[in-house]
């Protein structure tokens, strides 16, 4: 029997939000509302669609290795140099490239206790040790405890801001103080996959700090507000020396032609971007008002998803909603057994989700044992 490296026995396959096609097959339902993977429910830019159609004729040719045209356009837009950008097959790949490139066996990597699971998985694959720091109340990174967890073995720190799955941000001044405390030989990865949605005055703009802190990496993606999740394109912003390191490690043709073209065209469509942000904000206000009316507490979110405490077993709520064609994420696997994470959707889907949740809670409150066990 072939045996994998011992680290591989410590990890499990990534468990994504249930795909629409799978639920349709399983339940024989025609209408499915997917509010599970923090995708953009409003689609993607028509300019990207046009760019994909044009680029299709080039499919027989390999794409450019470092996405140079996209790099230049993005760099101009963000006000960084194009040699500070690395593109990946989703920002997932940048996380993989960072751990592949920098983590040795026994290196420690500090991260929040409830955060994006790919940090931990990738650290384990390299034989490193994830150091998970308990969250502070309210689903927020405990930056003081995270700073205390940094020692001579620490090679990398992940701060997911806003955080997935809790949707919360860390306060500006606290984050600035934390950044200052991270030693310059420790890589500080700021995962900002939901950056475009964050509108709080407490949200720290990290980009202006990039030149000052050469150990800082900022991760962003075209999968969320730009609506290009299936095309797989995300990026990391970092010192040019680190870009060179990652370029040596990455697969040559990691970002395909259609993805490069669509991402590039998306950068020209501010109208789509701002409309998505506006509609998300409306959805966020609608859902939070509904939760308040239902007496449910939630974590304040700066993203396109929200974690709400339904006061009932998350797994059961998940199953109940699945039967009605609504896919959400249950919190029991994330350490929040009575919370669910729901992606903010189109208004009609938000309303349908609320109707289904209300129906569940009505039944649950009538029954001591739980709805599905009766």
Ligand X SMILES: Cc1ncc(COP(=O)(O)O)c(C=O)c1O
Interacting residues toward ligand X by CB under 6 A: 38, 90-92, 116, 160, 164, 191, 193, 221, 223, 229, 234
Which residue minimizes CB distance to ligand X?
90
Closest to ligand X by CB, 38 or 290: 38
Closest to ligand X by CB, 234 or 330: 234
Show the tokens assigned to 329: 């994420």
Query: Minimal distance in Å, beta carbon 305 to ligand X?
Result: 9
Query: Minimal distance in Å, beta carbon 41 to ligand X?
Result: 15
C-alpha 187/C-alpha 189 separation (Å) is 6
C-alpha 152/C-alpha 136 separation (Å) is 24
Burial string for 25-47 (b: 16+ CB within 10 Å, else e) reads: eeeeeeebbbbbbbbbbbebbeb
**Three-class SS state of 107:** coil
Instruction: Give the Å distances, CA to CA, from 190 to 44, 119, 162, 264, 297.
Output: 25, 12, 9, 23, 28
Contact present, 145 and 139 (Cβ < 8 Å): no
E-state strands within the chain? 33-34, 85-88, 108-112, 129-133, 154-160, 187-191, 216-221, 234-237, 305-309, 326-327, 329-330, 339-343
How far is C-alpha 30 from the geometric centre of its chain's CA atoms? 28
Closest to ligand X by CB, 111 or 229: 229
How far is C-alpha 69 from the geometric centre of its chain's CA atoms? 25
C-alpha 95/C-alpha 210 separation (Å) is 18
Closest to ligand X by CB, 189 or 261: 189
Closest to ligand X by CB, 91 or 276: 91
Query: Minimal distance in Å, beta carbon 364 to ligand X?
Result: 29
Show the tokens assigned to 200: 């709080």
Query: Minimal distance in Å, beta carbon 90 to ligand X?
Result: 2
Closest to ligand X by CB, 90 or 227: 90
Closest to ligand X by CB, 221 or 350: 221
Query: Minimal distance in Å, beta carbon 160 to ligand X?
Result: 5
Contact present, 267 and 77 (Cβ < 8 Å): yes
Query: Minimal distance in Å, beta carbon 229 to ligand X?
Result: 6
Q: Phi and psi of 12, rounded to 5°?
A: -120, 165
Query: Minimal distance in Å, beta carbon 116 to ligand X?
Result: 4
Query: Minimal distance in Å, beta carbon 38 to ligand X?
Result: 5
Contacts of 278 (CB under 8 A, 6+ apart): none
Query: Minimal distance in Å, beta carbon 37 to ligand X?
Result: 7
Closest to ligand X by CB, 33 or 193: 193
Closest to ligand X by CB, 223 or 266: 223
Tokens 């308040």 correspond to what residue? 292
């Amino acid at each position: 029997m072939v045996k994998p490296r011992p680290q591989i026995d410590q990890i499990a396959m990534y468990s994504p939000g249930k795909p629409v096609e799978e639920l349709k097959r399983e339940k024989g339902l025609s209408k499915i509302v997917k509010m599970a993977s923090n995708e953009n429910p409003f689609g993607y830019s028509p300019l990207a669609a046009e760019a994909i159609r044009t680029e299709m004729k080039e499919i027989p040719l390999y794409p450019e290795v470092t996405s140079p045209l996209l790099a230049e356009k993005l760099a101009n837009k963000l006000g960084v140099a194009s040699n500070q950008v690395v593109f990946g097959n989703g920002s997932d790949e940048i996380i993989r490239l960072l751990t592949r490139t920098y983590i040795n066996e026994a290196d420690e990597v500090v991260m929040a206790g409830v955060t994006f699971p790919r940090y931990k998985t990738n650290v384990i694959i390299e034989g490193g040790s994830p150091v998970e720091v308990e969250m502070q109340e309210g689903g927020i990174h405990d930056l003081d405890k995270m700073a205390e967890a940094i020692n001579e073995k620490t090679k990398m720190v992940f701060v997911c801001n806003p955080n997935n799955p809790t949707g919360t941000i860390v306060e500006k001044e606290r984050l600035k103080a934390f950044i200052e405390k991270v030693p310059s030989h420790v890589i500080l990865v700021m995962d900002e996959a939901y950056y475009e949605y964050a509108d709080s005055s407490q949200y720290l703009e990290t980009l202006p700090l990039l030149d000052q802190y050469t150990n800082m990496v900022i991760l962003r993606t075209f999968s969320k507000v730009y609506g290009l999740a299936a095309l797989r394109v995300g990026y990391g912003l970092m010192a040019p020396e680190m870009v060179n390191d990652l370029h040596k490690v990455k697969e040559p043709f990691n970002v395909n032609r259609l993805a490069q073209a669509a991402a590039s065209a998306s950068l020209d469509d501010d109208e789509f971007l701002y409309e998505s942000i506006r509609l998300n904000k409306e959805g966020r206000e609608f859902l939070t008002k509904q939760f308040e009316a239902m007496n449910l507490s939630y974590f304040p979110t700066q993203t396109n998803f929200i974690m709400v405490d339904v006061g009932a077993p998350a797994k059961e709520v998940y199953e109940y909603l699945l039967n009605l064609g609504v896919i959400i994420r249950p919190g029991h696997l994330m350490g929040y057994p009575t919370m669910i994470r729901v992606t903010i959707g189109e208004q009609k889907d938000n309303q349908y989700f609320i109707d289904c949740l209300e129906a569940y809670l009505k039944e649950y409150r009538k029954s001591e044992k739980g709805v599905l066990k009766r």
